[in-house]
């Protein structure tokens, strides 16, 4: 595989991670499998290579229940729930590592706390257009599938330079975290995963003893009976197919969440289902946020439809070509109206 880092970047990584004694690892708001996988794997790796360091993972808000089994996830501090404790930890940090986001604003108010504290930062990400001068060492590789892939490639290059024995390179739990992030950010390797290097990396993780089938079940086979009933309701009642646009939309209110007893994470994956319809190119899922007065937007597409461009232009968000998201501050009716405007603007991408 082609090296990602220069010798100078590797030297800076080693200096920053070895010298620090109070390290904070962060991720974006609404953490997904890639965010939780990369932060937990990195925290474990740093603790092994710098035993003198105190390492804390901080997430801006809660993450889905189906990710709580990931090794190390139980130790993640939630800023929304422990604001005073997190502020003190950030203010004591001599290194902040940002995983799976290239903008401090992706952490909402936690980003302001990090911005106000002056200390070196490392950024590890794979999204487009990172914030300029965000970190002393910024590693942003949008051509890779996931932040977990970026991190695994980094650790491989460090291993090769230092001559670390293969058996000490990754632990089983670190490999589990990294595989989970790669799997979830590619829809179980159904998009953004056609490069041969990805499967070389999977083979490396398999040699660490992971059970990829169990990981898949841990993420995707965890639904409650209410979740399946809710899925039927969403597909039968709430799915609106716009045939001429080769697009579909589903909406979800908090009243409907309460009606079905929806748990945190139960909406995961719903946006992908309409893409099973023949000829469908774009699936849109709007849902009322449970914590803030806004509408969360999820976009999924196939082929060359640029979800990330639509999300950035209309919803203040971003992501990947075939999977992106954002938010709309307003009512559901206002959100649907804006969606229709966005679809009309991008109609040339949706036509046959």
Q: Are 78 and 62 in contact (CB under 8 A)?
A: yes
pLDDT at 352: 64
pLDDT at 165: 84
Closest by CA to 193, choosing from 183, 205, 203, is: 183
C-alpha angle 72-77-82 in degrees, rounded to nearest 5: 160
Q: Are 107 and 101 in contact (CB under 8 A)?
A: yes
For the chain, give every domain's residue range: 7-218, 225-350
* DSSP three-state, residue 58: strand
Domain 7-218 grouped into CATH 3.20.20.70: no
Per-residue HEC secondary structure of 36-53 comes to HHHHHHHHHHHHHHCCCC
Closest by CA to 114, choosing from 63, 156, 59, 160, is: 59
Domain 225-350: assigned CATH number: 3.10.310.30
Closest by CA to 246, choosing from 285, 297, 302, is: 302
Q: How many CB atoms lie within 10 A of CB 167?
A: 9
Q: What's the burial of 74, exposed, middle or buried (CB within 10 Å: 0-12/13-18/19+)?
A: exposed
* DSSP three-state, residue 269: coil
The residues near 29 (Cβ < 8 Å, ≥ 6 apart) are 60, 61, 106, 107, 108, 110
Q: Are 138 and 1 in contact (CB under 8 A)?
A: no
In angstroms, rounded to a whole number, what is the distance separating the alpha carbons of residues 160 and 86? 35
Closest by CA to 103, choosing from 34, 26, 32, is: 26
Instruction: List 250's β-bridge partners, or say none.
Output: 285
Rg of the chain (C-alpha set): 20
Q: Are 23 and 93 in contact (CB under 8 A)?
A: yes
From residue 209, give the alpha-carbon distance in Å to each of 10, 166, 173, 282.
Answer: 27, 13, 9, 37
Which pLDDT tens digits describe the chain residue by residue (352 residues)? 899 999 999 999 999 999 999 999 999 998 999 999 999 999 999 999 999 999 999 999 999 999 999 999 999 999 999 999 999 999 999 999 999 999 999 999 999 999 999 999 999 999 988 999 999 999 999 999 999 999 999 999 999 988 888 778 899 999 999 999 999 999 999 888 999 999 999 999 999 999 999 999 999 998 888 999 999 999 999 999 999 999 999 999 999 999 999 877 789 889 999 999 999 999 999 999 987 889 999 999 999 999 999 999 999 988 889 999 999 999 999 999 999 999 999 999 998 6
Please give the model's pTM, rounded to 2 decimal places. Answer: 0.91
Using the structure block, give the residue that is written with the tokens 């100078």. Answer: 8
* DSSP three-state, residue 25: strand
pLDDT at 221: 92
- Six-digit token string for 165: 């024995």
- Dihedrals phi, psi of 88, to nearest 5 degrees: -65, -40
């Amino acid at each position: 595989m082609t090296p990602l880092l220069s010798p100078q970047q590797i030297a800076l990584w080693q200096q920053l991670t070895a010298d620090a004694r109070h390290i904070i690892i962060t991720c974006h708001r609404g953490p997904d499998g890639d965010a939780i996988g990369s932060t937990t794997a990195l925290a474990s790796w740093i603790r092994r290579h710098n035993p003198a360091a105190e390492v804390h993972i901080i997430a801006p808000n809660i993450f889905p229940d189906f990710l709580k089994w990931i090794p190390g996830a139980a130790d993640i501090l939630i800023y929304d729930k422990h604001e005073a404790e997190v502020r003190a930890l950030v203010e004591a940090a001599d290194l902040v590592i940002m995983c799976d986001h290239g903008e401090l604003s992706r952490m909402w108010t936690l980003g302001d706390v990090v911005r106000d504290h002056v200390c070196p930062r490392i950024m590890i990400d794979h999204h487009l257009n990172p914030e300029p001068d965000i970190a002393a060492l910024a590693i942003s590789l949008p051509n890779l599938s996931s932040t977990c892939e970026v991190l695994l490639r980094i650790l491989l290059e460090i291993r090769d330079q230092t001559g670390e024995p293969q058996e000490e390179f990754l632990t089983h739990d670190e490999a589990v975290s990294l595989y989970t992030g790669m799997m979830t950010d590619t829809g179980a390797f159904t998009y953004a995963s056609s490069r041969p290097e990805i499967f070389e990396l999977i083979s490396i993780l398999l040699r660490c003893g992971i059970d990829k089938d169990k990981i898949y079940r841990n993420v995707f086979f965890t639904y409650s009976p209410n979740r399946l009933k809710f899925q039927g309701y969403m597909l039968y009642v709430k799915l609106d197919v716009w045939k001429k646009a080769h697009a579909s939309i589903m909406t979800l209110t908090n009243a409907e969440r309460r009606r079905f007893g929806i748990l945190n994470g139960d909406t995961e994956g719903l946006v992908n289902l309409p893409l099973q319809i023949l000829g469908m190119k774009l699936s849109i899922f709007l849902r009322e946020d449970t914590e803030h007065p806004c509408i969360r937007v999820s976009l999924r597409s196939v082929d060359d439809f640029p979800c990330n461009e639509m999300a950035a232009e209309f919803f203040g968000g971003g992501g990947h070509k075939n999977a992106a998201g954002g938010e709309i501050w307003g009512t559901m009716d206002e959100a649907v109206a804006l969606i229709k405007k966005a679809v009309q603007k991008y109609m040339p991408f949706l036509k046959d």
